[in-house]
Chain A
Amino acid sequence: MIRRILQHDWRVLRADATVWVVGGVFATAIGYAMANGVRWTTFQRNALHAASAEEIDRYATIHAQIGVLERTGTPVAAFGDPRNPTQFGSRFGPRYAMLPPAPLAALAIGQSDLQPYYFKVSTDARETLTTATEIENPQRLLVGRFDLAFVIIFLYPLLILAVTHNLLSGEKEQGTLALAASQPVSLRTLATGKVLLRALLLVGIVVGFSSVALLANGVGLTAPGAALRFALWLAAVAAYGAFWFALALFVSSFGRSSATNATVLATAWLMLVVLLPSLFNLVATTLYPVPSRVEMIQAVRVASDEATSAGSTLLARYYEDHPELATGGAEQAMNDFNIIRVAVDEDVSRRARPVVDRYEQQLTRQQTLIDRLRFLSPAVLMQDALNDVAGTGAARHRHFLEQVDRFHAAWRGFIVPLIVQRARVTSLDQVPSFTFREESPASMAGRVVIAMAGLIVPALCVAWAGVRRLRHYPIVG
């Protein structure tokens, strides 16, 4: 029976201009959004490529310089000597820690245009590295991007509403509903068939068009993890669609006119997609405001002033913490500016840490609150899911920052002993380098599945309530 309903309804829909308009708008938006996303990931890849090319060039130059200096033994000022560990660690040798775009990054630009995706890691304090950010017109950051995530989160529900607001009321208004109901078919089957057809159509359009757009833009699924991400992406799109179809069915089951249904559904869209997310943001930033960073700047400055003036005592304490590094000539070393600087840097980090932690704690509190509130808005859930799938969300970035922290520690762990032991960098083979380790697919998939559950459970409840209500549907009058 369902099949016959599908066939018949498809014939009716095909004759209606709405479906073609919806399909056309959708295809255009998806094509444009994909091209946009690919343009951004290409930009990022090029920037990372330029960065590593710069690093390779620089290392080739240093290598040659060191070779000449070692061979000829020409005296050279410390400032211009790449073998001097202080100079190497902060000027000559800093290496990039880079977060490459994930295989399907073009699907959702997410936070990737705002958060730094590479750091030039040197011996300088970690706090001074955090702000390497890409150049972008701030107004563009403010308005956001027209990417596939935007099309899915904002436009896709509207298009669903455009084809479902008159699910039964349309037939009723034409007078054909009574006719259909007089046949041996239950209203539930009829409604289910209609929803199913529209769902197949729209989900088919999104999946089809975006797969084509994906392939046309040269984004392959052969990269490691790409297939899993794509599968999750398809599932998330289907789950989000399911929620809106279920809502339309529920609203339809009240038996109001098409115009009323459209108004109610549009209001729901406005509440769930526009108002609630910005309200969540407001609540989170008001309850757990992250203070202006000027406080941190001042704290770091005060700490570094105090540390500098206490330089020589700090050095003594440094040797207490690292007795293995004291070479015996400690008194002589006292005067060594570089060693004092190392001690000062560590002290600044120690003193600034609590202040920096406060910012991170507030941000974590905001995120925890949003993680709870988001179950009230399918749009926020969907944003999280899509950002996770594309690898442009908070979690992957945090994962990257942890690796940057570790690399920075490794870098200092390499340079500082050389400074303290007054050794030289004579070979570049030992210099640590950074390789990004992708987060485990399981934890990424786990987050996406939780968000999807947040979409599917309410969808099922709403659909169930709708189907139950259909029993009382006023077929006439």
Chain B
Amino acid sequence: MISRVARKELLEILRDGRFRVLSIAVLAVSLLSLAVGWKQYTDVAKQHQQAQAATRAQWLNQTKKNPHSAAHYGVYAFKPKSPLAIVDTGIDPYMGVAVWLEAHKQNEFKYRPAQDRTAVQRFGEMTAAETLQVLVPLFIVLMTFGTLAAERERGTLRQLLSLGVKSRDLALGKAAGIAIALGMVLVPAAVLGVMSLALTSDGGFLASSPTRAAWLVASYLAYFAIVAAICLGVSARARSSRLALVVLLTFWFANTVVASRVVADVASWLHPTPSAVEFQKAMDADLNDQQEMQRRLDRRKAELMRQYNANSIDAVPVAFSGVSLQEGEDHGNEVFDEHYGRLFDIYDRQNTIYQLGGFAAPMLAMRAISMGLSGTDFHQHRDFITAAEAYRRQIQRTMNADIMAHPVRGGAAYLAGRELWERVPEFQYDAPATGWVLRNTRWSFAILAAWLVVAIGWMMRPLPRAAI
């Protein structure tokens, strides 16, 4: 019986003029957004790869100089693009693309691509993810609001149920018919999307992204199922198809346009971020804590003198300038870890609230999952920040250890060359594993699953007599 209902529903949808217009529109927008995403990805990925190679070459080709000068010269770390950013650019436009790794300072990521765009971007970007999260649900609403309500208005619902068709089977059949119609639009888009991903992969996609892509596809399917189930449920219970449309459009508007803004406000209200001025001031105060530095240096002096059994620091066979620089770094690192750690923890707490907002609006859960799997959420940005900072600290340690190992007497300058620069390995960053991403977005997965169960359960519940 379910398949018969599904076949009838599908036929009706295909004959409907609305479907033809809307499906062409959705397909066109999906393909357009994928194409643009693909172009942006390939352009930027290439630029970043070249820049990363260039910064390495500059580091290696430094003239002979004191290791600390080299540390000041530093290198840049450029954030690599995740291949799935073709689908969802996430927070990428709002995060800097590069960070300068120099001595003494953990710098911020600079140059947000969004600052190089006009104000219209604030209406939303037409990425594939945006299309899937915002437009496809609207497409589902417009295709389904009348499915059952119109049957009732025509009086055919009563007829059908009197024939012994269970309302559950009817709902499932209708859902299946709609799913097939939807599939006819989305499957070609998905196939092209995967093909474009495969084209960009320089081995990277085949290694890690298929698992991510599979999870992504499954999550979007669940999201569409939730929307479709809600639409059918409302359509079955609304007094008229007009009322069903009003209710569903309100749901769509609240879910896709309003909820994320309100939840963002709530999150910033519960966990406010400091202003940049305050943040910098507090960090500078800790960094310039001379007493703490003096304590550290005294302790190291005592340690070294004990170690070498010397009675003055000049008798120790290590260059104390290197020790002092490294102590400065260690002190700075503690301060950076504390301040940036606190700031990023605020972001994390805010982002957890965004995820929990999924209870009110399934799109928020879907967005978190989509950005997570696409490698464009804050968790993954933070992971890259941490990796880049660890590399900076490694450079500092290598340079300072070399200074320590080459004590000079009588004001002579110590100069190092390429052999030392080569001792710093090239910066390597591997995107985190899928399991790590899934753990970070566990709330959203749980919420999406809960929505799926509740929405389908509600859709399949027998209709109240009054609704027939």
Expressed in whole angstroms, the Cα–Cα distance for A148 and B84 within the complex equals: 35
| Min CB gap A272→B, angstroms | 11
| Min CB gap A230→B, angstroms | 21
Expressed in whole angstroms, the Cα–Cα distance for A359 and B39 within the complex equals: 19
Expressed in whole angstroms, the Cα–Cα distance for A393 and B118 within the complex equals: 9
- With both beta carbons as reference points, the residue of chain B lying nearest to A371 in the complex is identified as B118
- Residue interface bits B100-126, CB-to-A below 8 A is 1, else 0: 000000001011111111111111111
Expressed in whole angstroms, the Cα–Cα distance for A393 and B119 within the complex equals: 8
**B423: Cβ under 8 A from any A Cβ:** no
Q: Are A46 and B275 in contact (CB under 8 A)?
A: yes
Q: Are B95 and A259 in contact (CB under 8 A)?
A: no
- Residue interface bits B11-32, CB-to-A below 8 A is 1, else 0: 0000000000000000001001
Chain B residues within an 8 Å CB radius of A145:
261, 264-265
Q: Are B347 and A137 in contact (CB under 8 A)?
A: yes
Which residue of B118, B241, B351 is within 8 Å of A281 (Cβ)? B118
**A252: Cβ under 8 A from any B Cβ:** no
Chain A residues within an 8 Å CB radius of B126:
278-279, 281-282
**A266: Cβ under 8 A from any B Cβ:** yes
**A132: Cβ under 8 A from any B Cβ:** yes
Chain B residues within an 8 Å CB radius of A275:
29
**B66: Cβ under 8 A from any A Cβ:** no
A137 with B119, Cβ < 8 A, contacts A279-B126, A298-B51, A298-B55 known? no
What interface size band does chain B fall in?
35 or more
Q: Are A262 and B245 in contact (CB under 8 A)?
A: yes
- Residue interface bits B60-74, CB-to-A below 8 A is 1, else 0: 000100000000000
| Min CB gap B105→A, angstroms | 13
Segment with Cβ contacts to A, from B266-274, B307-315, B387-395: B266-274
Which of A139, A274, A379 is most buried by chain B, counting CB atoms within 10 A of its CB? Answer: A139
Within 8 A of B (CB), among A126-152: 131-146, 150
Within 8 A of B (CB), among A49-80: 50-51, 54
- With both beta carbons as reference points, the residue of chain B lying nearest to A136 in the complex is identified as B273
- With both beta carbons as reference points, the residue of chain B lying nearest to A277 in the complex is identified as B123
- DSSP majority for the A interface? helix
Which residue of B123, B138, B273, B274 is within 8 Å of A270 (Cβ)? B138
Q: Are A111 and B110 in contact (CB under 8 A)?
A: no
Expressed in whole angstroms, the Cα–Cα distance for A154 and B48 within the complex equals: 37
Which residue of A46, A137, A370 is within 8 Å of B267 (Cβ)? A137
A114 with B125, Cβ < 8 A, contacts A142-B90, A259-B242, A266-B249 known? no
Q: Are A140 and B268 in contact (CB under 8 A)?
A: yes
Expressed in whole angstroms, the Cα–Cα distance for A367 and B120 within the complex equals: 9
Which residue of B110, B253, B279 is within 8 Å of A135 (Cβ)? B279
Q: Are B276 and A134 in contact (CB under 8 A)?
A: yes
Q: Are B276 and A47 in contact (CB under 8 A)?
A: yes
Q: Are A141 and B245 in contact (CB under 8 A)?
A: no
Which residue of A118, A135, A142, A294 is within 8 Å of B47 (Cβ)? A294
- With both beta carbons as reference points, the residue of chain B lying nearest to A373 in the complex is identified as B120
Chain A residues within an 8 Å CB radius of B44:
292
- With both beta carbons as reference points, the residue of chain B lying nearest to A158 in the complex is identified as B253
Q: Are A111 and B43 in contact (CB under 8 A)?
A: no
Q: Are A281 and B261 in contact (CB under 8 A)?
A: no
| Min CB gap A302→B, angstroms | 8
Q: Are B261 and A150 in contact (CB under 8 A)?
A: yes
Expressed in whole angstroms, the Cα–Cα distance for A111 and B118 within the complex equals: 9
Chain A residues within an 8 Å CB radius of B111:
131, 292-294, 296-297
Q: Are A138 and B95 in contact (CB under 8 A)?
A: yes
Which of B51, B246, B346, B378 is most buried by chain A, counting CB atoms within 10 A of its CB? Answer: B51
A366 with B117, Cβ < 8 A, contacts A137-B273, A281-B126, A291-B43 known? yes
**B58: Cβ under 8 A from any A Cβ:** yes
**B262: Cβ under 8 A from any A Cβ:** yes
**B9: Cβ under 8 A from any A Cβ:** no
Q: Are B91 and A142 in contact (CB under 8 A)?
A: yes
Q: Are B277 and A363 in contact (CB under 8 A)?
A: no
| Min CB gap A84→B, angstroms | 19
- With both beta carbons as reference points, the residue of chain A lying nearest to B108 in the complex is identified as A131
Chain B residues within an 8 Å CB radius of A345:
none
10 A-B contacts, Cβ less than 8 Å apart?
A: A36-B265, A47-B277, A114-B115, A132-B276, A135-B279, A144-B124, A259-B245, A263-B245, A278-B125, A366-B118
Contact surface of B with A, Cβ cutoff 8 Å: 29, 32-33, 36, 39-40, 43-44, 47-48, 51, 54-55, 58, 63, 76, 78, 90-91, 93-98, 108, 110-126, 130, 134, 138, 241-242, 245-246, 249, 253, 257-258, 260-262, 264-265, 267-268, 273-279, 281, 343, 346-347, 350-351, 354, 377-378, 381
Contact surface of A with B, Cβ cutoff 8 Å: 36, 43, 46-47, 50-51, 54, 110-111, 114-115, 118, 131-146, 150, 154, 158, 258-259, 262-263, 266, 270, 273-275, 277-282, 284-286, 289-298, 301-302, 305, 309, 359, 362-363, 366-367, 370, 374, 379-380, 383-384, 387, 393-394
* 6 nearest A-B pairs in the assembled complex, by CB-CB distance: A293-B111, A277-B123, A47-B275, A138-B94, A138-B91, A290-B116
